[in-house]
Structure 1
Amino acid sequence: RAWSSTMSRPTETAEIILQAHANVPLSQTEGLVEIGHGLWEGKLESEIRDGWSELLDTWKQRPETVQMPEGETIQDVWARSVKSWGDIAASLKPEETALVVAHDAVNKTILCDLLGLTPADIWAVKQGNGGVTVVDIALDSSQPAVVTCLNLTSHFGSVIDRTAAGAL
């Protein structure tokens, strides 16, 4: 089975991937929607810096303390994305493979949670556009999931991932 955010980019990405996997259904969930950037939505970092320089610096240094103007906090994203991930994981049959296509902040919060990190640590996890991450869910539900591959982007022709540059 496959899941994506309800937003167009991850849905289109999932649909392209699923062209090679006939009969795999795609479900969409609001829990995987990207962080609400509020007034920062659609702006370049330079434009954000012009209006909210101190807040942008704080976002980069202490993201857990920032609410984007008229937008969300990383804790808001954490709560809904980790719940959505948990619902997806709980619905899987033993040894079932699933595809989850989401967004940078969503992926980071889920991965930080799986790795035992906190919202303050989101910059410790890199998620490039089209990066592949593999999470093995233990057959024994008392055991933690294991992140076995993180942000693999070599299918783009380079060992170094340059796709996440400039992401907020």
Structure 2
Amino acid sequence: MATDREHTTIILARHGECQGNREERFRGRVDYPLNERGLEQAEDLGKAIAPMVPDFIYTSPLLRAKQTATAIARACSHKHLFECEGLNNINFSFWEGRLKKEIALEYPSDWETWLTYPEKLRLFGAETLQEVQGRALRALKELVEKHYGDTIVVVSHRTVLKPLIAGCLNIPEPYFWKTHMDTASYSILTYDYQRGYGLFSLNQTAHLKKVSTEWI
């Protein structure tokens, strides 16, 4: 007879749109707030997540993520919202705030690496995707151990969530362009002690009135 297994549900939410997304810039740690569309997206995302009745919400400390997490918390009618440094966006060093078309012209070799094998990208003063993946996995491990059996929401950034999913599922490099996550989308992982992590759904956007797709 089939039986329910105790597991943790992890809802991975990407923040809503900010001006850096709209202008096609590398955001990194630049603290962009949500733009008008992003605020609307965050409200829609909160309404989509509320029926899943999350127990706790954790967010990157950057404003665009915190605003998104706050909208989710408001929709879920609780105050269990906490910042987590391990969910912070990648440090892109001197690429931060720059237009992608400018980077493509000024650093053609590095730009090609970003387009084809970003796991190999090495910029002076910047984090690598391996470093981001490591800290995000450690942060998630702590949350799962703390809240085993609960449903938790993790609000973060594309360059954190994609390496995180790859690490949870043991997807080898190059993995970055093998998954896709739109702004204000959510994906769901499950975790149990016997089976580890499993992917339940990816890049859910049906709740959004207009999807903002970012390909590079």
TM over 0.5: yes
Q: Does 1:165 align with 2:211?
A: no
| 2:92 match | 37
The answer to whether the aligner puts 1:7 opposite 2:56 as a matched pair is: no
The one-letter code of the counterpart of 1:104 is R
Per-residue Cα deviation, 1:70-111 (whole angstroms, up to 9, x for no partner) = 3111111111111111111111132x1111100001100111
TM-score (norm 1): 0.89
Give the counterpart of 1:124 among 159, 167, 178.
Answer: 178
Ranges in structure 2 where 5+ consecutive residues have no aligned partner: 1-55
> Is 105-114 or 21-30 further displaced after alignment?
21-30
* CA 1:44–1:33: 2 relative to 1, 3 Å: same
Percent identity of the aligned residues?
24
Q: Is the 8 A contact 2:190 2:197 kept in 1?
A: yes
Q: RCO higher in 1 or 2 (8 Å CA, sep ≥ 6)?
A: 2
- The alignment partner of 1:137 has SS state of strand
For 1:117 and 1:37, how far apart are their aligned partners in 2? Answer: 23
> Which residue is equivalent to 2:208?
156
2:193 pairs with 1:144: no
Decide which of 67, 74, 80 is 1:19's aligned counterpart.
74
Distance across 1 between alignment mates of 2:190 and 2:137:
16
Query: What secondary structure, in the 3-state scheme, does the structure 1 residue paired with 2:144 have?
Result: helix
SS in 2 for 1:36: coil
Deviations 1:28-60 (A, max 9, x none): 111101111111101111011121111110122
Distance 2:130 2:214 in 1: 23
Q: Deviations over 1:3-37 (max 9, x none)?
A: 00011111110001111222241111111011111
Cα offset for 1:166? 4.4
SS at match of 1:14: helix
Contact 2:86 2:136 (8 Å CA) reproduced = yes
Residue 155 of structure 2 corresponds to residue 101 of structure 1: yes
Q: Is 1:57 matched up with 2:112?
A: yes
User: Where do 5+ consecutive residues of structure 1 fail to align?
Assistant: none
Deviation for aligned residue 1:119: 4.3
Moved over 6 A (4+): none
Mapped to 1, the partners of 2:213 and 2:75 lie a distance apart of 26
**Matches of 2:97 and 2:173, distance apart in 1:** 23
Is this contact kept in 1: 2:137–2:168, CA < 8 A? no
CA distance in 2 between partners of 1:88 and 1:120 (Å): 27
AA of the residue aligned to 1:63: P
Mean Cα displacement is larger for which, 114-123 or 146-155? 114-123
Secondary structure in 1 matching 2:77 = coil
Work out whether residues 75 and 119 of structure 1, in 8 Å CA contact, stay in contact via their aligned partners in 2.
no
1:114 to 144, 155, 168: 168
**One-letter amino acid matched to 1:147:** L
Contact 2:60-2:156 within 8 A present in 1 as well = yes
**Counterpart-to-counterpart distance in 1, 2:145 and 2:174:** 26
1:135 partner amino acid: L
Normalised to the residue count of structure 2, the TM-score between the two structures is: 0.70
